[in-house]
A and B are shown apart, each in its own frame.
Chain A
Amino acid sequence: MSKPLILVVEDDPSVRNLIVTTLKANEYSFIAAGSGEEGASQAATHNPDIILLDLGLPDIDGVEVIKQVRGWAITPIIVISARSDDSDKIAALDAGADDYLTKPFSVEELLARLRATQRRLAYMNSASSSSVFENGGLKIDYAAGCVYLDGEELHLTSIEYKLLCLLAQNVGKVLTHKFITGNVWGTSWDNDIASLRVFMATLRKKLESADSERQYIQTHIGVGYRMVRL
């Protein structure tokens, strides 16, 4: 698989330089933009595979850029935020971002996110029409409504199954609490979010009891959950 084209939208020159140098060193091809408007137009002309987007831009808010891009493309967007507040990450995810990185981040972390997104892209291209989902030792047979872990059938409650399918369909993407409760319960009261935490905890226990080093579902405290593409 050829290395994807990455668009970097970041106004701070030294952080942009850091990202660009990292990409160069790892043989990614890239384009860089220093403002939101420029980023949006670059995205339109070059049609990149992945967008790395800083939320605090001088001209328009990062969330605005996401909304513009989402108007015509499903390009994965990884948001970079220096704000420690969860609410702007949630706003970006709800607007259509796929993942987020909080400053200060390490070079390895950046590369890991890129690799995960690439895997997800590859999966989306190959298996989009498949009725079976496979990820590591996990296998979901949508048609039969069965879940297998390392070849053995897992017994899940109907809500656990619904949650697992939702995560699987959006593998690699961080799903916010609101998004999940809205999809599974149809509402998003505080009480539903507490319930969600309990169901996720039991689901994770069932998935990870066999092998504690392998983590299928990541918890993002205050934000949501993500199924990791193994």
Chain B
Amino acid sequence: MESVKDEKRDMPLNGEHVLVCLSSAPSNARIIRTAADMAKAYGARFTALFVETQNLEKASPENKSRLQANMELATELGAEIETVFGDDIAYQIARFSEAAGITKLVIGRSTFTKNRLLRKSNLVESLLAYAPEVEIHIIPDRSADIRYVPKRSHGGWREILENFAISFAILGGATAICYLFQWLGFADANMIMVYILGVLVTSVATLSIAFSMISSLAGVLLFNFLFIAPKFSLAANGTGYPMTFLIMFLTAFLSGLLAQRYKQQANVSHKIARRLRLLFDTNKLLFAQTDRDKIISLTAEQLIKLFKSDVLIFDGDMNAAYFPENPSATAIYDVDLEKKRAEMAMSGVTSKYEDDEAKFFYLPLRVNDKLYGAVGIDGAGLSAFDRDTFSSVALECALALDNEYNRREKEQATIVASNEQLRANILRSISHDLRTPLTSISGNAANLLENGEKFDAETRKQLLSDILSDSDWLINLTENLLASTRMEDGKLGLRLADELIDDIVDTAVGYCKKRANGHFITLKSCDKLMFVSVDAKLIVQVIVNLIDNAVKYTPEGSHITVSIEDALENVRVSVMDDGGGISEEDKPHIFDKFFSGASKLSDSRRSLGLGLYLCKAIIEAHGGEIRLKDNAPHGSIFEFELKKKEITINE
């Protein structure tokens, strides 16, 4: 299928354009193939035209499915399918040929022998008259079913009987009025007008032109029989009457014919107008949507409105979304089968429809080379008009999805760009802050290396302990930076595992105890064993940061208490100190990035202002909450809560 399409696309078009007419006739397939061969031989464009007439609605299901198969065959052979509407087939073909620049027209004999009631001139003659410049190729039928007559479906007989009844009633009514006129003594001409009016009404109320004709004839005969002397005979006393009857008949018939034409035209334009309005609505609604799921459900809604059919939509990852026409109905379809069928449609194959068991008929949601899935509706009994409408909706949907995709991609790019910007800012400020401790480390080390012997033991020790404390600061910073990079991916970066909160707090406190000289750190555990689903390393980092912070901002000898509490659905961990507390003006900014109360630090200890910001980011990524409170009588409490995880234990 793809290869055919590609071939068509690559072909140097030489102005030749082959048109084949589609019909529901069994022989139509052969004609389509012949036309396709011809198009290939000439290197011509290939179009298949279907002229949809009023009769299509009355066609039997068998004929409809054959028409569908013929259309699919044409698509497969590389034809572009077009549909026009109108009852005068020849005129429609000619108009289309002119508009599309058709040079060669292929029709079958069956099309051309289709000699319907009252269609006097045959198709070829009409075509020659309408479009003399088009070459017409007629493919003779060798098969036995030359006299193929489109079968009407059974519903037609009832309609015909109904129409007869309507015609009789109207005629009867007209006759009754004429009797009234006669009694009142009105002239004959008035009665003629009444009969003509009756024929007009009949034409509008019935389906076929045949009824108009029969009514016209019957009207003339009745008028003659009942009202013209000698009464109750078809003879007329008067030389002018035969002419009167002829004109009466022609007037009635022609006005009936015009009324019927007008009605058909109105029907077609009503249908087209309704479709246009729905497509316009669809377009408007889809255009306003920015959400993928909404676009899909809206498309389904419109399709349900248009076709009264269940709708099945596959997205690009082949996930099915089912929209039943009746919301309470349960889905009855074979997903695998439908998926296969939808995939076929997405790869460009729309034929082989009747031999598989799939329930839906699919069209790909495609914009240029980008596939966004496939949309399927109940395929039985789709007219060419319906298919056209369906493909328009599918295209609208695909365009909306394409828009949405492009917008999302653009947003993504914006986010990436702003992340890059943020990262650059962080790197710049960190590099700046790294300079100070690095200057101290390398300067002190160089001093010791060059002049080591000249310093006394006391000075040497001071220089060495400066190196140690600066590198410890760098080590701590590295841990926080590592945690920050993990946090950049948000929730995705978390490696969640079910951990005992005791183990986590224990590890953090153990780590800090080793490094905290001069501060008293105690752990108050909870008797209950509580699990949390967390990234253990990051939570350890949070507690370490909170303890470090307490150590940094409280004088030596202060007490730091870390406690674990059971808080209903949550686990609460708090880090309390009995230091000076945090000033009111600093409180709102305490969790901000790069905020540090450096001005109030007693000695030269530095702070990058990353620690608390990171704590907040980590706890929030875990769906928890971190707070700052005042300790009594003085000091601060940093506490966070995480959701408990229930665990079943294997003995």
- Is the C-beta of A142 less than 8 angstroms from some C-beta in chain B? no
Closest CB in chain B relative to A63 CB, distance in Å: 20
With A104-B475, A197-B499 known as contacts, the answer to whether A221 contacts B507 (CB < 8 A) is yes
Closest CB in chain B relative to A9 CB, distance in Å: 23
Size category, B interface: 20 to 34
With A198-B529, A201-B502, A201-B529 known as contacts, the answer to whether A222 contacts B475 (CB < 8 A) is no
Per-position binary interface string of chain A over residues 181-212, scored 1 when its CB falls under 8 Å from any chain B CB and 0 otherwise: 00001000011111101100110000000000
Chain A residue numbers with a CB within 8 Å of B531 are: 194, 197
Instruction: Judge whether B500 and A201 touch: CB under 8 Å.
Output: yes
Per-position binary interface string of chain B over residues 419-459, scored 1 when its CB falls under 8 Å from any chain A CB and 0 otherwise: 00000000000000000000000000000000000000000
Chain B residue numbers with a CB within 8 Å of A185 are: 650
Chain B residue numbers with a CB within 8 Å of A202 are: 529
With A84-B482, A197-B500, A219-B503 known as contacts, the answer to whether A192 contacts B475 (CB < 8 A) is no
Which residues of B446-502 are within 8 A (CB) of A? 471, 475, 478, 482, 497-500, 502
Cα–Cα distance between A215 and B575 once the two chains are bound (Å): 23
With A201-B502, A201-B503 known as contacts, the answer to whether A222 contacts B649 (CB < 8 A) is no
Q: Which residue of A lies closest to B507 (CB)?
A: A221
Chain B residue numbers with a CB within 8 Å of A191 are: 647-648, 650
Closest CB in chain B relative to A199 CB, distance in Å: 8
Closest CB in chain A relative to B351 CB, distance in Å: 50
Chain B residue numbers with a CB within 8 Å of A104 are: 471, 475, 478
- Is the C-beta of A159 less than 8 angstroms from some C-beta in chain B? yes
Instruction: Judge whether B650 and A221 touch: CB under 8 Å.
Output: no
Closest CB in chain B relative to A19 CB, distance in Å: 17
Instruction: Judge whether B506 and A219 touch: CB under 8 Å.
Output: yes
Residue from B498, B503, B507 with most neighbouring chain A CB atoms (10 Å): B503
Which residues of A108-147 are within 8 A (CB) of B? none
Closest CB in chain A relative to B530 CB, distance in Å: 10
Per-position binary interface string of chain B over residues 496-517, scored 1 when its CB falls under 8 Å from any chain A CB and 0 otherwise: 0111101110110000000000
Chain A residue numbers with a CB within 8 Å of B502 are: 201
Instruction: Judge whether A221 and B649 touch: CB under 8 Å.
Output: no
Instruction: Judge whether B503 and A197 touch: CB under 8 Å.
Output: yes
Cα–Cα distance between A86 and B647 once the two chains are bound (Å): 23
Closest CB in chain A relative to B476 CB, distance in Å: 10
Instruction: Judge whether B536 and A194 touch: CB under 8 Å.
Output: no
Chain B residue numbers with a CB within 8 Å of A221 are: 499, 503-504, 507, 536-537, 540
Chain A residue numbers with a CB within 8 Å of B475 are: 104
Closest CB in chain A relative to B429 CB, distance in Å: 23
Per-position binary interface string of chain B over residues 520-553, scored 1 when its CB falls under 8 Å from any chain A CB and 0 otherwise: 0000000001010000110010000000000000
Chain A residue numbers with a CB within 8 Å of B369 are: none
- Is the C-beta of B651 less than 8 angstroms from some C-beta in chain A? yes
Instruction: Judge whether A198 and B536 touch: CB under 8 Å.
Output: no
Closest CB in chain B relative to A163 CB, distance in Å: 13
Cα–Cα distance between A213 and B319 once the two chains are bound (Å): 58
Cα–Cα distance between A63 and B425 once the two chains are bound (Å): 38
- Main secondary structure, interface of A, reads helix
Cα–Cα distance between A148 and B6 once the two chains are bound (Å): 84
Chain A residue numbers with a CB within 8 Å of B649 are: 194-195, 198
Cα–Cα distance between A190 and B651 once the two chains are bound (Å): 14
Which residues of B610-651 are within 8 A (CB) of A? 647-651
Chain B residue numbers with a CB within 8 Å of A192 are: 650
Instruction: Judge whether A195 and B506 touch: CB under 8 Å.
Output: no
Chain A residue numbers with a CB within 8 Å of B471 are: 104
Cα–Cα distance between A219 and B505 once the two chains are bound (Å): 11
Instruction: Judge whether A194 and B647 touch: CB under 8 Å.
Output: yes
Closest CB in chain B relative to A160 CB, distance in Å: 11
Instruction: Judge whether B651 and A159 touch: CB under 8 Å.
Output: yes
Closest CB in chain B relative to A224 CB, distance in Å: 11
Closest CB in chain B relative to A204 CB, distance in Å: 9
Closest CB in chain B relative to A219 CB, distance in Å: 5
Residue from A86, A159, A194, A201 with most neighbouring chain B CB atoms (10 Å): A194
Cα–Cα distance between A219 and B531 once the two chains are bound (Å): 15
Cα–Cα distance between A201 and B529 once the two chains are bound (Å): 8
Cα–Cα distance between A155 and B420 once the two chains are bound (Å): 59
Cα–Cα distance between A143 and B499 once the two chains are bound (Å): 35
Chain B residue numbers with a CB within 8 Å of A193 are: 497-498
Cα–Cα distance between A202 and B537 once the two chains are bound (Å): 23
Cα–Cα distance between A190 and B497 once the two chains are bound (Å): 9
With A159-B651, A198-B529 known as contacts, the answer to whether A222 contacts B498 (CB < 8 A) is no
Closest CB in chain B relative to A194 CB, distance in Å: 5
Closest CB in chain A relative to B618 CB, distance in Å: 15
Cα–Cα distance between A64 and B506 once the two chains are bound (Å): 33
Q: Which residue of B lies closest to A219 (CB)?
A: B503
Cα–Cα distance between A192 and B499 once the two chains are bound (Å): 12
Q: Beyond the given A197-B503, A222-B497, please list 9 additional residue pairs across the A-B interface where CB-CB is below 8 A.
A: A84-B537, A104-B475, A191-B647, A193-B497, A193-B498, A198-B500, A198-B529, A201-B529, A221-B536
Interface residue ranges, B against A (CB under 8 Å): 471, 475, 478, 482, 497-500, 502-504, 506-507, 529, 531, 536-537, 540, 647-651
Interface residue ranges, A against B (CB under 8 Å): 84, 86, 104, 159, 185, 190-195, 197-198, 201-202, 219, 221-222
Residue pairs across A and B with Cβ atoms less than 8 A apart, 19 shown, are A104-B475, A104-B478, A159-B651, A191-B647, A191-B650, A193-B498, A195-B649, A195-B651, A197-B500, A201-B500, A201-B502, A201-B503, A201-B529, A219-B503, A219-B506, A221-B499, A221-B536, A222-B497, A222-B537
5 pairs of A and B residues whose beta carbons are closest in the complex = A221-B536, A194-B647, A195-B650, A195-B649, A219-B503
